[in-house]
Amino acid sequence: MDLTSLLIFAGALVVSAGSPGPSIAALVARVLTRGVKDVLPFLAAMWIGEAIWLSLAIFGLAVVAQSFHLAFAVIKWAGVAYLLWLAWKMWTAPVAEEGAALPASDSPFKLFFAGMAVTLGNPKIMVFYLALLPTIVDLGSVTIVGWAELTATMAVVLIAVDLGWTFAASQARRLLRSPRATRIANRVSATAMAGAAGAIATR
C-alpha cells in the first residue's frame, strides 16, 4: 500500500470511528459507571470486530457476509439484548456510600462478548467497511502485505480514538463524587446504553 492510500484510509476511519455511535455510547457508559479498570476486554473485542469487517471487505467476502445474514442478525439481536440488560443494571445500581464495597465487575468474557456484539452488529461499521472502503481503497489490488498494513493502520487509529473517549469519560467520572451525582451518571449511562441498543436494533 502506498502512503497516500493509507493516509486517506486513516483519515476516513478517524471520522467514522470518532463520531458518536452505538459502540462509543456503550464504551463511554461503561467507563462512567465502572471506570477504566475492567474495560480492556470490551475495547479489545471492538478492535477485533472491526478487523473482521476489514478482512471481509478486503478478501472479497462481502457476498459471504450477505449470505450469512442470519448469523449476523443473531449476533446483532444478542448484542441488543445484552446492552439492554446492562442498561437495566446501570439504572437500578445502588449508589455506593463511602466505605462500601464496590459492585463486582462483569467477567472479561461477558465484556468481550458485549464488545464483539456491538461491533459486529453495528450497521455504521458494516457500511464503512463493506460499502465505503471500496471507494477509498482499490481492494482488488490489495495483497496480504497490504491487508497487514491496512489492519495495522486501523489498529493505530482505533486505539487512539477509543482511548481518547475512554480518557475523557474517566475524567468526567472523577467529578462524580456525591451519591446524587453518581446516581445521575448511572442513569445517564443507562440511557446511553439503551440508546446504543436502540440504534443497533432499528438499523
The sign one gets for the Cα dihedral 134, 136, 139, 144 is negative
Three cell numbers written together for 4:
497516500
Q: What pLDDT does 102 receive?
A: 31
Position 116 confidence tier, pLDDT thresholds 50, 70, 90: confident
For range 74-96, the mean pLDDT? 68
Helix, strand, or coil here: 97? coil
Identify the residue with better confidence: 24 or 47: 47
Cα distances from 83 to residues 72, 89, 185, 197, in angstroms, run 16, 10, 17, 6
CA distance 196 to 82: 11
Instruction: Name the pTM for this structure.
Output: 0.67
Q: Please calculate the CA angle 87-93-94 and round it to the nearest 5 degrees.
A: 165
